[in-house]
Amino acid sequence: MSVPASRDEWKERVRENIRQGAELNAAFVSMNALAATIATYGLFANSPAIIIGAMIVALLLGPIAGVALALVDSDLRLLWRSLLTLSAGTMVVMVTAFIIGLWHSDIPITDEIVARTAPNLMDLMVALAGGAAGAYASTSPRLSAALVGVAIATALVPPLSSASVLIAHGETGLGLGALLLAFTNMVAIQFAFSSVLWLTGFRRLSHTSGLSVLTFLRRNAVSLGILLLLSIVLTASLHRAIAQQLFETAVRTTLGQVVDHSTGSHLAEVRFDTVPGSAGPGTTIVRAVVRGPLPPSASQVAAMEAQLPAAPDGTALELRVRFVETTVINRDGRLYKDAGFRLD
């Protein structure tokens, strides 16, 4: 069954739009530099709204779409041009954020920056869905590819900017984690984009080979292999994150139950810090803030520490209690003045 001429013309228009989006020009460089600037200051301000708003001017989806189309169409010229544009855009974002990071080296690392340093399997799934949405919008006349491009850019510019800021602050290890997130998003978006293009009929050469599925897989073998490797690594990271969350929840629950047994005392806050060891796995320090009329003794702190679950990463556990004396007074006078800290 022949394809209508109008459909062929529509596909060619989509192809031309993608090719234009993969071009390296002054507008591409300028807009990505501006996006990196806004995103970096949004990261410093710890403001998700500014970070998302910065992506309105980002243009990193274009070259990724170019790579996807080149692999589907077996267009080596477009492939190399798109890879060059993507590499240039990535460098523009990272260099811009690095300069800003050096300039503001006195600003501490914020939660928005740290949040992008530990990618896991959920980040990979989000990137795959985002890439598929971007491809579908690009090939559908009813949808705006620009809006989807903005959403996808949020998965690229912020982690790249976070990596540069962390490296500028001397936190290379955390910076590499943010780079891994950006790389994961790029590969996942490209593969999802290629898959949607192939499914919607953008397979100019494979259509005549008789082996369209095998041809598609062969052309995307590198992306698929990287995705499989990343899925293994990120699954392990997700398991570690879940284990850490369960551990922290169990610690808070246990300490809360213990402190509640002491009349007039309550658990105000619990924080976790890991101190690396010189020869061993290190120590997980549990910092608990307890408010009440009388402080616990050292032996009582040791007894509380013994009730805590083991750290999932194999580190030794140390409980440190910061006691804040609290006086509660009603119309009859001071309450809990004779209440001592106890564990049962």
* Cα 260 from Cα 340, distance rounded (Å): 12
Q: How buried is 164 (Cβ within 10 angstroms: 0-12 exposed, 13-18 middle, 19+ buried)?
A: buried
Q: Which of 179, 208, 212, 210 is nearest to 195 (CA)?
A: 212
**In the numeric block, which tokens belong to residue 330?**
């009603």
**Where do the domains of the chain lie?**
5-219, 245-335
pLDDT tens for each residue of 228-272: 787 887 788 778 888 888 999 999 999 998 888 887 888 999 999
DSSP 269: E
Task: Please determine, looking at this structure, whether the domain spanning 245-335 carries the CATH number 3.30.300.
Answer: yes
pLDDT tens across the length of the chain (344 residues) = 444 456 667 778 888 888 888 899 999 999 999 999 999 999 999 888 888 777 667 788 889 988 988 888 878 899 899 999 999 999 999 999 999 999 998 899 998 999 888 888 888 888 888 778 777 777 776 655 555 555 555 578 999 999 999 999 999 989 999 999 899 888 888 888 888 887 877 765 444 444 456 666 676 777 778 777 878 877 887 788 888 889 999 999 999 988 888 878 889 999 998 887 666 678 899 999 999 888 888 998 999 999 999 998 888 899 999 999 888 888 888 887 767 677 76
Residue type at 172 in one-letter notation: T
* Cα 309 from Cα 313, distance rounded (Å): 12
* Cα 94 from Cα 32, distance rounded (Å): 10
pLDDT tens for each residue of 173-183: 899 999 998 99
Q: If DSSP codes are grouped into helix, strand and coil, which group holds residue 146?
A: helix
